[in-house]
């Protein structure tokens, strides 16, 4: 069965500092990996995905994520955080050949001015 772990309920970072939101996954086969962001009272918005190829994936709003197969991780990163990045971030995995997208529990990112 597929599963995703986001070990941090909340990440606090000062504006201008780099940020990392952690994600590890478990699948039987090969994964497709996704990050979504949710702003208050809104639906989930797609940020980026890993399918195959380059382990460093670049996405919207300056975010990037690094796929590490040996550590089964897909951490979300941004070199310089903005206050407007404050939101709820979800990591998700979909096993190749299967349709279900399984989400982690979410990590709240709080960027202080």
Partner 1 sequence: DAGVIQSPRHEVTEMGQEVTLRCKPISGHDSLFWYRQTMMRGLELLIYFNNNVPIDDSGMPEDRFSAKMPNASFSTLKIQPSEPRDSAVYFCASSLRQGASGYTFGSGTRLTVV
Number of residues that bind partner 1 (CB under 8 A): 23
CA angle centred on 99, ends 78 and 52, rounded to 5°? 45
Work out the burial of residue 104: count CB atoms within 10 Å of its CB; fewer than 13 is exposed, 13-18 middle, 19 or more buried.
Answer: buried
Instruction: Quote the tokens at residue 23.
Output: 């994600």
The site map against partner 1 for 13-52 (x = CB under 8 A) is: -------------------x-x-x----xxxxxx--x-x-
Pick from 29, 19, 31: nearest CA to 74: 31
Nearer to partner 1, 52 or 70 (CB): 52
The binder of partner 1 chosen from 17, 58, 100, 110 (CB under 8 A): 100
The verdict on 92 binding partner 1 (CB under 8 A) reads: yes
The verdict on 106 binding partner 1 (CB under 8 A) reads: yes
Dihedral sign, Cα of residue 105, residue 23, residue 33, residue 109:
positive
Give the footprint of partner 1 on this chain (CB under 8 A).
Answer: 32, 34, 36, 41-46, 49, 51, 90, 92, 94, 96, 99-106
């Amino acid at each position: 069965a597929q599963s995703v772990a986001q070990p941090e309920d909340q990440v606090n970072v000062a504006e201008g500092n780099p940020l990392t939101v952690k994600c590890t996954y478990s699948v039987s086969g090969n994964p497709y990996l996704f990050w979504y962001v949710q702003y208050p009272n809104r639906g989930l918005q797609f940020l980026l995905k890993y399918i195959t190829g380059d382990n460093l994936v670049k996405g919207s709003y300056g975010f990037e994520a690094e796929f590490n197969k040996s550590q089964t991780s897909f951490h979300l990163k941004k070199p310089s955080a903005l206050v407007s990045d404050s939101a709820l971030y979800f990591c998700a995995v979909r096993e190749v050949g299967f349709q279900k997208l399984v989400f982690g529990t979410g990590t709240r990112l709080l960027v202080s001015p």
